[in-house]
Amino acid sequence: MKKIAIIGADGQLGTDLVQVFSQAHDVASLTIQDIHIENIDEVRDVLSGIKPDVILNTAAYHRVPDCESHQSLAFQVNAIGAQNVAKVAQDLGAVNVYYSTDYVFDGMKGSPYLETDTPNPQSVYAISKLAGEYFTRHYCDKHFVARVSGIYGKVPSLIKGSNFVTTMLRLAKEKSEVRVVDDEVLTPTPTEEIALNSVDLIRIDHYGIYHMTSEGACSWYEFASTIWSTLELKTPLYPAKVADFPMVVKRPTYSVLENANLKKLGINRMSDWKDGLIRFLKQNYLEGGS
């Protein structure tokens, strides 16, 4: 049994990490009330008191448009915060897992991105997360950078107050019709599967960058269509184009990730995106869920 410190424990990903890791490990759940990763002294005091074997850092400022207007805060949390955690993890001899994003790529490749592909972030959010990756890798020898995509879970994002699933359900209730872009491609990924794969990840010592998303790819419209068909929503759903909506932030039009490194080690347990989404929707919305 390992001692696991989970930063951002009450967030969308953090909640599932706590639930999954608690089944076999001693978990210290750290919320924003418990630790502010922007403060190195606070990070050192809190983590030194816990003495974790593994630190899972899910803390992020990830409301993408707001990162453009609050650049300092984005870098304080996503980059400097990651640096602080990495430095303390190194001092404690702990494994440090930093959760990053598909947005570190520019979307121009047109085929699934490998861990060896060169990032080219297009927004403040993406740049700050890539900086967090570099800090994690530079300051902590025992590090994992896990890039995820289109995540959704039982608990909506703390900062956004929603995820794509909950947003679509709200719009289906409030709007006479819903329009979703069909020219941005990603891989929707449930946070529970990320948590399960993270358990396998910390059992190895092949440190480095890992893509950790569901298999396959779809447009945001296909993502929404699966929600509509599974839950039998009646509100009309129509495809749209990115150009139909005002652009606040440049986003990659194609951000599909290939879990190449997980597959090399035989620890890729991510399901097909549609299978995972349908299973999630049935469990949480059709079988006595909320």
Active site residues: 125
Q: Find the angle CA(288)-CA(220)-CA(82) to the nearest 5 degrees.
A: 85
Residue corresponding to tokens 């299973």:
279
Tell me the two tokens of residue 241: 């184009």
Q: How far apart are CA 70 and CA 135, in angstroms?
A: 21
> Up-side HSE of residue 203: CA atoms within 13 Å toward CB?
13
The strand ranges marked E within the chain are: 3-7, 26-30, 54-57, 95-101, 143-148, 151-152, 178-181, 185-186, 189-190, 208-211, 218-219, 237-240
Task: Select from 147, 132, 114, 125 the least CA-distant residue to 13.
Answer: 147
